[in-house]
């Protein structure tokens, strides 16, 4: 039995206590000739996943609709018939908004069934990408709501995305996640439920999609992979509603990166291909470069050297066309040297240590934010150790550890631990000192 997050979210939005909801259900039942005597304990059971009996689900819809001043369906409160036909009333996008905001609320409340859920695989993982790429499109995303959404509201969401992305780069996903989720609940959810025209709605969904994608990145960085995947799928749906194919391709790049982390290399290749195919000429050079580079990494892990090198050449070609001032805000992560470090990892998998080190060194020398530099230095240190250049690897590891101080990131911790393990195993001079510095960076509480 899974908690009913949709009902929980609507009860919270309506501002009704458990006892108050029970009393209103009893009252609505009396109007239908029913003698109901529910108390707050019954509401608690419903929220935990127990299905109310008889006409109670309909009464819940009636009570919540009256409180929220909008139509509320059984699907909206998580009590629709599993596998039943889609409702003929309302908008599928409206239902998505309710499910999305329910997830945000559960995340903010630290519900374990949300935080600990594993990432889905197979068809459930592929379907959101397929639905993004294929018809039908959203012909009208307008919505009637009590609060009119303005251009200043949308600009606030765009500014928030930039703010939280910068915070993530400086402090890591663990420190940033609670803040961005709090913002989604307090500021973004009311706007999605507000009133807007089709044109304004498309801008709203685009701005929200970019923000939700950052929430997914923070969840990924916190090693909550199932939650991260759900945020990425939400961002993909929002991108489709916005009509911005390039934004959808950016979100798929995040899914490609997650698939690489989970070692599902065939899915990485397929997802990257879907983004490159669907976005076509609307894809920015920076995003094309990253997608091709990640595809090259996946092919290398699969042992397909020919396809890996072909993808690498495509990545390098796209990188040469990058014009920073002409890129969308979301592709700011494709900084100088990113493609080099991706290519270095692919070449390392293919066993070409000399070429891998050359690419890793170029990446480490290129200007980038501190988080990216830690990852690049980690890759360079690993390659230097593989080549037997222990002295150089120690110096690289020391710089890596110093830059990692204060960052709360599970992904960075994993990289630091791996470098430490390889340093100690090498037994080289200075390894103990470098390992001690890494331990210091790892002592940051998570």
* Per-residue pLDDT at 294: 97
Contact 209, 238 (CB under 8 A): yes
Model confidence band, residue 90 (pLDDT cutoffs 50, 70, 90): very low
Indicate whether 444 pLDDT > 80: no
State both tokens at 76. Answer: 């909206």
Contact 364, 377 (CB under 8 A): yes
Residue matched to tokens 């293919």: 350
Query: Any idea where the domains of the chain sit in the sequence?
Result: 5-82, 91-243, 369-446
Q: What is the pTM of this model?
A: 0.85
User: SS3 for 136?
Assistant: coil
Q: What is the pLDDT of residues 285-339, one digit of tens each?
A: 999 999 999 999 999 999 999 999 999 999 999 999 999 888 999 998 998 999 9
**Whole-angstrom distance, CA of residue 151 vs CA of residue 134:** 30
**Whole-angstrom distance, CA of residue 434 vs CA of residue 3:** 47
Calculate mean pLDDT across residues 26-49. Answer: 91
Give phi and psi for 195, each to the nearest 5: -110, 135
CB crowding 222-238: b at 16 or more within 10 Å, else e: bbbbbbbbbbbbbbbbb
Calculate mean pLDDT across residues 265-289. Answer: 94
Provide CB contacts within 8 A for 357, sequence distance 6+. 344, 380, 383, 384, 387
Cα R_g (the chain), whole angstroms: 24
Indicate whether 87 pLDDT > 80: no
């Amino acid at each position: 039995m899974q908690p009913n997050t949709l009902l929980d979210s609507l009860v919270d939005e309506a501002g009704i206590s458990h006892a108050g909801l029970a009393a209103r259900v009893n009252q609505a039942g009396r109007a239908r000739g029913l003698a109901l005597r529910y108390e707050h304990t019954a509401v608690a059971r419903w929220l935990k996943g127990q299905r109310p009996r008889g006409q109670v689900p309909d009464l819940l819809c009636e009570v919540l609709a009256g409180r929220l001043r909008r139509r509320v369906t059984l699907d909206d409160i998580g009590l629709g018939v599993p596998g039943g036909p889609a409702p003929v009333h309302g908008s599928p996008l409206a239902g998505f908004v309710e499910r999305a905001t329910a997830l945000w609320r559960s995340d903010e409340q630290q519900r374990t069934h949300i935080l600990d859920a594993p990432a889905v695989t197979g068809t459930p993982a592929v379907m959101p990408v397929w639905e993004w790429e294929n018809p039908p499109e959203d012909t009208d995303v307008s919505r009637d709501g009590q609060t009119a959404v303005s251009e200043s509201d949308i600009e606030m969401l765009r500014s928030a995305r930039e703010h939280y992305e910068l915070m993530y780069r400086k402090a890591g996903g663990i420190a940033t996640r609670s803040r961005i989720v709090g913002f989604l609940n307090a500021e973004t959810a009311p706007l999605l439920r507000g009133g807007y025209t089709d044109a304004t709605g498309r801008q709203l969904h685009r701005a929200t999609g970019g923000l939700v994608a950052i929430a997914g990145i923070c969840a990924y960085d916190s090693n909550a992979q199932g939650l991260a995947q759900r945020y990425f799928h939400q961002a993909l749906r929002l991108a489709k509603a916005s009509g911005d194919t390039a934004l959808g391709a950016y979100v798929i790049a995040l899914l490609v990166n997650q698939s690489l982390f989970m070692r599902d290399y065939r899915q990485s290749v397929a997802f990257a291909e879907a983004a490159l195919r669907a976005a076509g000429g609307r894809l920015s050079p920076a995003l094309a470069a990253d997608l091709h580079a990640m595809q090259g990494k996946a092919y290398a892990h699969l042992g397909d050297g020919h396809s890996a090198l072909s993808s690498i050449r495509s990545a390098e070609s796209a990188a040469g066309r990058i014009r920073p001032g002409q890129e969308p805000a979301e592709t700011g992560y494709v900084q100088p040297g990113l493609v080099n470090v991706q290519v270095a990892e692919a070449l390392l998998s293919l066993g070409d240590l000399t070429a891998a080190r050359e690419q890793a060194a170029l990446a480490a020398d290129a200007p980038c934010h501190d988080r990216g530099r830690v990852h690049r230095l980690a890759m360079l240190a690993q390659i230097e150790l593989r080549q037997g250049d222990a002295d150089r690897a120690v110096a690289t590891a020391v710089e890596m550890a110093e830059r990692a101080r204060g960052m709360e990131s599970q992904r960075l911790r994993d990289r630091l631990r791996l470098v430490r393990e390889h340093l100690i195993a090498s037994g080289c001079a200075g390894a103990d000192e470098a390992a001690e510095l890494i331990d210091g960076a790892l002592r940051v509480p998570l």
